[in-house]
């Protein structure tokens, strides 16, 4: 199993540009989520999904869109990048029950917005 994969590893955007961060998992997990990690702030939940076709907002959803058309994929879209979105983004997946929601994380995407 590859686990949770994320692409790209690094990305530089100009203010106003849009892009999609890709996330895929091959563990048949129902639950997937996107976090951003900023110094001194830990991980903050952006959006999450409890299954294909079902998504919901997390703690910091503004400026981001998600969709979940398959169990495996959960892309994160930045609609119009802003310098405040400079961060490291992590995708995670887990079973939805029975495992205490243990999360499996991808390697991260380091995004810089200039």
Partner 1 sequence: AQSVTQLDSQVPVFEEAPVELRCNYSSSVSVYLFWYVQYPNQGLQLLLKYLSGSTLVESINGFEAEFNKSQTSFHLRKPSVHISDTAEYFCAVSERGYQKVTFGTGTKLQVIP
Name the residue nearer to partner 1 (CB basis): 70 or 99.
Answer: 99
Minimum CB–partner distance for residue 83 and partner 1 (Å): 22
Cα–Cα distance, 111 to 83 (Å, whole number): 10
Are 77 and 46 within 8 A, CB to CB? no
Of these, 27, 43, 52, 82, which contacts partner 1 (CB under 8 A)? 43
The burial of 40, by beta-carbon neighbours within 10 Å (0-12 exposed, 13-18 middle, 19 or more buried), is given as exposed
Query: Among residues 14 and 100, whose Cβ is nearest to partner 1?
Result: 100
Q: Is 31 in the site for partner 1 (CB under 8 A)?
A: yes
């Amino acid at each position: 199993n590859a686990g949770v994969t994320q692409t790209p590893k690094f990305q530089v955007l100009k203010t106003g540009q849009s892009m999609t961060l890709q996330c895929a998992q091959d563990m048949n997990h129902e639950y997937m989520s996107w976090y951003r990690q900023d110094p001194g702030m830990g991980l903050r939940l952006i959006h999450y999904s409890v299954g294909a076709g079902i998504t919901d907002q997390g703690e910091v959803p503004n400026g981001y869109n998600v969709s979940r058309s398959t169990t495996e994929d959960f892309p994160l879209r930045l609609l119009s990048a802003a310098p405040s979105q400079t961060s490291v983004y992590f995708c995670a997946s887990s079973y939805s029950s029975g495992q205490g929601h243990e999360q499996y994380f991808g390697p991260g995407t380091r995004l810089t917005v200039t």
